[in-house]
Structure 1
Amino acid sequence: MNVLVAGATGYLGRFLCAEYARRGHHVTALVRDARRAEGLADVLIEAEATRPDSLEGIMDGVDLVVSSLGITRQADGLGYREVDFQADLNLLREAETAGVRRFAYIHVLKADAMRGVPLVDAKAAFVDALLASDMPATVIAPTGYFSDMGEIFEMARRGRVWLFGDGTQRFNPIHGADLAVAVADATDAGRGWAEIGGPDVMTQDEIARAAFAALGTEPRIARLPDALRRAALSVMPIMPRRISGPARFFLTALGHDMVAPRFGTRRLSDHFATLAAEAAHHPSGAKK
């Protein structure tokens, strides 16, 4: 099968390329800069998904498109509407023209509960367009990635973790490699929708303690009233978009349990142990 991965140089995209290649598929990576993607796939195609003309013909002969395209931290002056909605819509339209057999998209969990957050609204608008099209679709809604837990680890490394509320909100984030397996399983099976989380359901407090345990340091957790989180959300609309965009998403998600059916074998505690080992070799900063 010929698979095209959009967003191939992102955290999840690299794992998607590797997983589909492992299954024997011919993988094409859609990238903005091929220099960042050497060895990532069988074929590298440089294109700007925000420009439909640059996509013409790139999906000829492709059976499956998997898009993890999106922005978390805004750059290049582009917003969520331009990338998470319009760029993915451009990909969908080209896929329709090329006769692609299935389009898979990486969404977010609990999008309906987070309406009004620009990132979520853009993704939800694309999902609506995808499901309204004649294209067979697979929508994946993950709980969150291990890489999203890097901020908690960094706070622990600096000596104190700050949490909103009582720390009882539950999460089961998933490693990118495990999520890539779940995505490939879903597309192989022709599933329409799948909500996916990692193997361990943990409270925010437990996640913080796991970070301290990996570092071998005494847990120091400070709790802020959840009213402060809600107050911060109330002023986000007047903040610069590059700051308010990701902050609104993360602050909103922190107010929900983000738990989905468990999948995978990679544990967050092991991920934190890896970060701790890296931090020991690079004391000025750990990788996230």
Structure 2
Amino acid sequence: MKHVLIAGATGYLGRHLCAEYQSRGWHVTALVRKKTGGADLAADTIIEAEATWPETLHGTMANIDLVVSALGITRQADGVGYWDVDYQANVNLLVEALRSNVIHFAFVHVLHADRMDHVPLVAAKSAFVRKLQTAAIQSTVIAPTGYFSDMGDFFTMAKAGRVWLFGNGQHRINPIDGADLATATFDAIAQGAAWADIGGPATYTQDEVAGLCFKALDLQPRITHLPDVLRRLSLWLLPRLAPRRLAGPAQFVLTAAAMNMTAPPQGTRQLADHFQTLAASSDAERASDSKGDTP
């Protein structure tokens, strides 16, 4: 039996990666910050360690054949930032993998990172990728277009009654479900790919993504297009005025919003079904709240 260690195992993609590798007959070791957070993971072994502290990683990769890191942060908090986690914590994992003679190291990156190196979140990831690609280990870099979960901002705006978009709403994206991305990641690594751009099965314009949200909510579409100059102004103001924990993810979202985030299609799960699930959950919450308000 082959052994894989999943870093970032309690995150959105990490959970799907654990389930995918276990379903393929691998022994899965999940690296988590706190074991209580990984109680429901599809993992054979759970190891508690803090990847930003290299001494806690010693011995964690004995008999491991493959490390897959989906480790990264969206919002900078707890006194750590992108360079502490997306770069240095992954460097610490790589150093331990090399020390333990791990054969293969895979890392989940960002699509079009070469066009977003001025964005702190992406710059830290890109710096790690450069280090990984020069290390004495087989490597695979996975660059997804975006997760279904990332489309939540569209749904939240639609639920509030209006979706606000910068520009003309015609930039395209083919986001992918986490389970489909885990499958595509497994296949890319198994095939020995050095790099894999991965998208979902269907491509939409931003206007069309908004339309799917309104349809799921059974609401009349209301989309407002803002001048792109406002997006560019926001990018200039964010690092100067906003708290770091808010500026970082906003810079990434606003930069990606002005690109076509499309990659070769993989998977079968549809974004419309994802929004239908969110809408059903929203309806259930409203029904529960109504019952709670009944005297």
> Normalized against structure 2, the TM-score is what?
0.95
Deviation beyond 6 Å, 4+ runs, structure 1: none
Give the whole-Å Cα distance in 2 for the aligned partners of 1:118 and 1:135: 26
Give the whole-Å Cα distance in 2 for the aligned partners of 1:284 and 1:129: 51
2:167 aligns with 165
Deviations 1:104-156, CA, capped at 9 Å, x for gaps: 00000000111110000000000000001111001000000000000100111
1:142 aligns with 144
Structure 1: segments with no counterpart, 5+ residues: none
Give the whole-Å Cα distance in 2 for the aligned partners of 1:151 and 1:208: 10
2:24 aligns with 23
Shift of 1:284: 9.2
For the residue of structure 1 that corresponds to 2:286, the secondary structure is: coil
Among 94, 103, 108, the residue aligned to 2:110: 108
1:258 aligns with 261
1:233 aligns with 235
Among 272, 277, 281, the residue aligned to 2:280: 277
2:177 aligns with 175
Please tell me the residue identity of whatever aligns with 1:127.
V
Give the whole-Å Cα distance in 2 for the aligned partners of 1:283 and 1:129: 49
Shift of 1:39: 3.5
The answer on 1:242 being equivalent to 2:260 is no
Cα-Cα RMSD: 1.1
The answer on 1:267 being equivalent to 2:270 is yes
Shift of 1:185: 0.4
Deviations 1:44-70, CA, capped at 9 Å, x for gaps: 000000000000000010000000000
Give the whole-Å Cα distance in 2 for the aligned partners of 1:135 and 1:97: 11
Structure 2: segments with no counterpart, 5+ residues: 289-295
The answer on 1:2 being equivalent to 2:3 is yes
> Normalized against structure 1, the TM-score is what?
0.97
The 5 A counterparts of 1:165-244 are 165-238=167-240, 239-244=242-247
| Range moving further from structure 2, 276-285 or 120-129 | 276-285
Give the whole-Å Cα distance in 2 for the aligned partners of 1:267 and 1:39: 25
Shift of 1:283: 2.6
User: Percent of aligned positions with the same letter in both sequences?
Assistant: 59
Deviations 1:194-227, CA, capped at 9 Å, x for gaps: 0000001100000000000011111011111111
Deviations 1:65-114, CA, capped at 9 Å, x for gaps: 00000001222111000000000000000000000010000000000111
1:66 aligns with 68
